[in-house]
Amino acid sequence: MQEPMPHLLGLCAAIDRAAAGIYRKLADTEPDEKLRACWNQMSEEEDLHVTYWSRLTKMAAEGIVPPLFEDPDRVMAELESVARDVGTVEASAAQLGNVRDRALLALRLELCLLHPAFDTLMQFLSCLEPEAPDRYSEHLDGFLVALCEYTKGSPELDLIAKTTRQLWLRNRQLLKAANSDALTGLLNHRGFWTAVAPLAHLARRRAENVAVITLDVDGLKDINDELGHAAGDEVLKSVAGILRSALREADVACRLGGDEFVAFLIGVEPASLEAICQRIQAAVRACTVAGKPFAVSIGAAQGKLEGDVIAAVEQLRQESDQHMYTTKPRLRNRSAEPGHRPFRAPTHGRNLDA
């Protein structure tokens, strides 16, 4: 049986290669100069997508691309179906004479390419290669704008074009919802590991230091009991906002569930890590909900990743969790100002070879 990721990427490349060929056929037989330019641009963009999949295939061969799908066999079966549909479109591309039929064929092709696997892979590549951002939304929007300009007066085409864009936006919303915590807007457990995987592989490749910060809200149940669950929710949202402000844009923050949060940082040194944790503590001390302060506990661990990077990151997470909890019994018997939690020294200079 073929390895899932290389096979998936091969299917994506074959589908986009066929799409590029279809648009070239439309351009070669298009009498309208502006519409011909539109088809040529679509072809070039599909060729660019093929280069993305080729780069990811090479990375997969080097062990940099982790499994990105919970059920890769199902995704492969769906992509094989997409490939067959694109093949059917390709067979009829050169036989269409009028603008309306050619526009319908192009819309049918774009509907085939709305499978969420393309977006998942593109977002993964964007994490590894910021210079190769996901431009598929621009690709689709540009196509629909051009199509509407050259097919005016066709309510049917207008409806199909709008439906195509709505399907694409809904796919993106569903993908985001599957990876996000509804209350705080941070990533959820699944989204965290999806986002961390490419960054961890990149850190191992560059031999960069990484860190994990673990944080939880002290006495959230008491807050819920005394002030109500709405106040407890505000505390959690406040902590999420503090994490966003304290971390860099490239860092990954997540609500694991309940009162637990975790963050993954790449390219951070021990002194900087301690400063980040102190910045979080200071922000918590300055924050109140329903007129009352609240407290958090923070732990951190850092090192360089080797071997199985996902297992190594999980080991760091467990270490940071342990550092956080070793402060709790002492703190319960200490009269400290609300929100104050001493930073537990992280693991320094350690290579994690899982």
pLDDT digits 0-9 by tens, 44-54: 989 988 998 99
Give 302's strand partners.
211
Could you report the per-residue pLDDT of 271-325, keeping only the tens digit for each? 889 899 999 999 999 998 888 899 999 999 999 998 888 899 999 999 999 888 7
Q: Is the pLDDT of residue 354 over 60?
A: no
Could you report the per-residue pLDDT of 7-42, keeping only the tens digit for each? 899 999 999 999 999 989 888 888 878 788 888 988
Confidence of residue 96 (pLDDT cuts 50, 70, 90): low
Which one has a higher pLDDT value, 183 or 101? 183
Q: Is the pLDDT of residue 154 over 90?
A: no
Could you report the per-residue pLDDT of 207-250, keeping only the tens digit for each? 899 999 999 999 888 898 889 999 999 999 999 999 999 998 88
Could you report the per-residue pLDDT of 284-293, keeping only the tens digit for each? 999 988 888 9
Give me Rg for the CA atoms of the chain: 25
CB 320 within 8 A of CB 299: yes
Half-sphere exposure in the Cβ direction for 49 (13 Å, CA): 31
Phi, psi torsion values for 149, nearest 5 degrees: -65, -35
The conformation of residue 259, written as its DSSP 8-state character, comes to T
